[in-house]
A and B are shown apart, each in its own frame.
Chain A
Amino acid sequence: MKCFCESQGVRKKQIVDSIQTFGAKTLHRLLAFIHKEFLHIIRDPRTLVILFGIPAAQILIFGYVISMDIREVQIAVVDLSRDTISRQLIHKFDASNYFRVSHMLNSVNEVEKILKSGSVKEVLVFESGFGTRFMREGEAMMGLIVDTSEPNTGRLVASYSEALIADFNRELAMAGRLKIVPAVRMLYNPALQNEYMFVPGLMTLILMLICALMTSITITREKEFGSMEVLLVSPLRPMQIILGKVAPYLLLAFGDVLLILAMANFVFGLPVKGSLMLLLLESVLYIGLALSLGILISTVSKTMQQAMFISLIGLMLPSILLSGFIFPLENMPLFYQIISLILPPRWFIIIVKNIMLKGTGFRFVWKETLVLIVMTAIFISISAKKFKIRLE
């Protein structure tokens, strides 16, 4: 009886040992594979440029060039009235982030000179008796002279000024007697939208590009160079090959998320309003989704060029056009709205906007998260099925 127990104990130990060595070997294989992938990435500087240079450049380009926003534009003032109302309005301009009153002029004659010198973009002109007329008649004229040699900036400066004045009007009406306020819609304050809308969209786009494109290329590269033949005859399981291929990019793409968020915060002053943890978790989910899409692309393409073509044309273009990044989805024909439903970026953009800009919690994005999870599961199971254990 005792003997039986012992032998059973030994057997159990043997089984545990063999499972452990099997697990250790599997892990060892996987680590060796990941190490090899990192070597590929480090040895090819182009990969690193694509991985980190492009996202950083994109953020800066979008942030500084495409951003339809003005900030601290220098303006001059000709105040011939010098009363409370005009001073209040001047102060309102100066206090806003958009304008800074840099010059006080004494006469209208100086206007042309200072505009020509280029030191200010706009001059506010208050004629004498501006305040009294405003109080008496409830209406007064003031001049906005705008330098439109740069049409875009000029137009923006004018419309921001008009918006500030409209806002000022509204404040006066509220403070004073009940007066019918013209129902001017405050189109003003689109600052948040214009300036920051690109961050969630760009993040969505960059992650899709890097993950799908890079994984599909790295797998097809093995096919093209013939090394896949050697990997296939090795005891590596398809899952190990896929995991080994994907793991480095998961890590690097996560680095990209941190890079983008850091740049948004430190360069553009856009913090994550909601939970950073939640945003990072959602990002990992989305990266996983994009990676599995990349694997799927690699299983259907034979060459790197093919993989690149499918990733760029088949994935990038719809992601840019139909995700709501640039063109609002609500304005699209129904057909395109339906197509956009199957595009992962559409859902991730909503998640990022909610967490980052609005500061909402998981309660408001669980549906989109669920969509992403289901998509990931579908892509992974299709690519696992399609990944061939042989050459044919």
Chain B
Amino acid sequence: MIQAEHLCKNFASVTALADISFSVSEGELFGFIGPDGAGKTTLFRLLATLMRPDSGAATLSGYDVVKDYKQLRLITGYMPGRFSLYHDLTVEENLRFHAAVFGATVEENYELIKDIYSHIEPFKKRLAGRLSGGMKQKLALSCALIHAPTVLLLDEPTTGVDAVSRMEFWQMLKNLQSHGITILVSTPYMDEAGLCDRVALLQDGQILSIDSPARIVARFDKKLWAVQSDDKHMLIERLRSYRPIESVFAFGDSVHITTVNDELDETELVHFLTAQTEEIHITTIKPNIEDCFLRLMRKN
């Protein structure tokens, strides 16, 4: 469905994308995970025919993103990173405008967007600029879908959206998949990676790893411990100075650590730490996808 080969893109002296290759099969929900500045937006703009790669090529549905941009613009739905609808138009006017521009009508594709649009339909007379973040995002997705595209390109759709709306949004994407739509989504939130069929970890314009979330987790080759204490900040400081330790990452209310030789003398560590803090809990845990990404990014 989507093929990208050796995509490169530079802006002046900055390399946004350095040799990106991947493929996405039809109906897949494919995620690009990476921190800000990893090149996600540039990659999505290339695929949306908004930019030309310096070298390399990409095709969607067999259409080249440079040569066949006219055909591609008919079959792709693109949702840019920031809210790009008209603030001074109502919800309904925005939707109808997008439908008309793509030569579709709201009525003929209503089934496809019903799931999403029904949330904001009660506010259809409201100006889009007065919607909340979550509602704006639903409207933007409705607009991107209104011409029944075969490929959806969603650039950081959940950035700046509350946690509940984020979960709702991912549920909607899962439902869209059942309509056979291929979905590419980028996000800086690693916890969303587990919701994709496959994910690519992007850093500094390069793909570090592509696989299903389960297999990425399975490839984690280290033992992992979670350490908990009251003063997390001090805990991290002290852990970093503990010699056998290889990596220290803060996760919610605990700190995940790995050691150089995969062994940990818990009593010795507790002894090392108690000089600073009162209560220490150490448990062995299974890695989650974030542990894997952080490890991959650290290796890089």
Question: Is the pairing of A and B real?
Answer: yes
Check B82–A36 contact: CB distance below 8 A: no
Least Cβ–Cβ distance between B37 and chain A, in angstroms: 18
Contact of B100 among A32, A225, A233 (CB under 8 A): A32
CB contacts under 8 Å to B, within A27-63, are 28-29, 31-33, 35-36, 39-40, 43-44
Interchain CB contact under 8 A, A390 and B83? no
Residues of B within 8 A of A225 (CB): 84, 86-87
Residue from the list A31, A35, A226, A232 in contact with B82, Cβ < 8 A? A226
Check: A187 CB closer than 8 A to any chain B CB. no
Asked if B52 is at the interface (CB within 8 A of a chain A CB), the reply is: yes
Highest count of chain A CB atoms <10 Å: which of B50, B52, B96, B101: B101
Chain A residues numbered 220-246 whose CB sits less than 8 Å from any CB in chain B: 225-227, 229-236
With A29-B103, A39-B89, A235-B73 known as contacts, the answer to whether A391 contacts B83 (CB < 8 A) is no
Q: Which of A40, A232, A233, A390 contacts B88 (CB 8 A)?
A: A40
Name the distance in Å between B22's Cβ and chain A's nearest Cβ: 21
Residue from A31, A39, A234 whose CB has the most chain B CB atoms within 10 Å: A234
Q: In this assembly, does B85 line the interface, its C-beta being within 8 Å of a C-beta of chain A? A: yes
* B293 within 8 Å of A (CB atoms): no
Q: List chain B residues, Cβ under 8 A from A226.
A: 80, 82-84
Q: Are B100 and A40 in contact (CB under 8 A)?
A: no
A191 at the interface (CB under 8 A from B): no
Determine which of B51, B80, B96 lies in contact with A32 in the assembled complex, contact meaning CB atoms within 8 Å. B96
Sorting the interface of chain A by its residue count into under 10, 10 to 19, 20 to 34 or 35 or more gives 20 to 34
**B152 to chain A: closest CB distance in Å?**
12
Given the complex, which residues of B lie within 8 Å of A232, measured CB to CB? 50
Q: Which residues of A contact B123 (CB under 8 A)?
A: none
B249 at the interface (CB under 8 A from A): no
The answer to whether A233 and B84 have CB atoms under 8 Å apart is no
Q: How far is the CA of A392 from the CA of B66 in the complex (A)?
A: 13
A25 at the interface (CB under 8 A from B): yes
- Whether, in the assembled complex, A371 has its beta carbon less than 8 Å from a beta carbon of chain B, the answer is no
Q: Is B49 engaged at the interface, CB distance under 8 Å to the other chain? A: yes
Distance in angstroms between the alpha carbons of A227 and B144 in the assembled complex: 12
Flag if A390 contacts B51 (CB, 8 Å). Answer: yes
Identify which of A25, A29, A227 contacts B84 (C-beta below 8 A): A227
SS of A interface (majority): helix
Known: A230-B80, A235-B74, A391-B51. A39 touches B88 (CB 8 A): yes
Q: Among the listed A31, A33, A229, A234, which residue makes an inter-chain contact with B80, where contact means beta carbons less than 8 Å apart?
A: A229
Complexed CA–CA distance, A391 and B65 (Å): 14
Q: How far is the CB of A384 from chain B (nearest CB, A)?
A: 17
Tell whether, in the assembled complex, residue B85 and residue A227 are in contact, meaning their CB atoms are under 8 Å apart.
Answer: yes
In the complex, the answer to whether B83 meets A233 with C-beta atoms within 8 Å is no
Interchain CB contact under 8 A, A29 and B82? no
Q: A229 contacts B86, CB within 8 Å?
A: no
For residue B130, CB closer than 8 A to chain A, the reply is no
- Pick the contact of B102: A31, A40, A235, A392 (CB < 8 A): A235
Please tell me if the beta carbons of B101 and A234 are within 8 angstroms of each other in the complex. yes
**Cβ-based interface call for B78 (8 A):** yes
A390 touches B49 (CB 8 A): yes
Q: Is there an interface contact between B73 and A233, defined as CB atoms closer than 8 Å?
A: yes
Q: Which of B49, B76, B86 contacts A36 (CB 8 A)?
A: B86
- Please indicate the chain A residues that have their CB under 8 angstroms from the CB of B220 in the complex: none
Closest to B88 in A: A43
Residues 63-104 of chain B: 1 if any A CB is under 8 Å from the residue's CB, otherwise 0? 000000110011010101011111111000100111011110
Query: What residue in chain A is nearest B77 (Cβ atoms)?
Result: A233
Instruction: Return the chain B residue nearest A39 by Cβ.
Output: B89
Do residues B50 and A391 form an inter-chain contact, with CB atoms below 8 A?
A: yes
Contact A236 B76 (CB under 8 A): no
**Residue A389 CB within 8 A of the other chain:** yes
Given contacts A29-B103, A226-B83, contact A233 B50 (CB under 8 A): yes
Known: A25-B103, A226-B82, A391-B51. A235 touches B93 (CB 8 A): no
User: CA of A233 to CA of B152 in the docked complex: distance in angstroms?
Assistant: 12
Q: Which of B38-53 contact A (CB under 8 A)?
A: 45, 48-52
Chain A residues in 8 Å Cβ range of B82: 226
Task: Give chain A residues whose Cβ lies under 8 Å from the Cβ of B100.
Answer: 28-29, 31-33
Contact of A44 among B73, B88, B96 (CB under 8 A): B88
Interface string of B102-133 (1 = CB under 8 A from A): 11000000000000000000000001000000
5 A-B residue pairs with Cβ-Cβ distance under 8 Å, sorted by A, are A33-B100, A33-B101, A40-B88, A234-B73, A235-B74
Sorted nearest first, the 6 A-B pairs with minimum C-beta distance are: A32-B100, A226-B84, A43-B88, A391-B50, A234-B101, A233-B78
Further pairs besides A234-B73, A235-B101: 19, Cβ < 8 Å = A28-B100, A28-B103, A31-B100, A32-B96, A32-B97, A32-B101, A33-B100, A40-B88, A225-B86, A226-B80, A226-B82, A226-B84, A230-B78, A230-B84, A231-B101, A233-B78, A235-B103, A236-B101, A392-B51
Q: Residues of A with Cβ closer than 8 Å to B?
A: 25, 28-29, 31-33, 35-36, 39-40, 43-44, 225-227, 229-236, 389-392
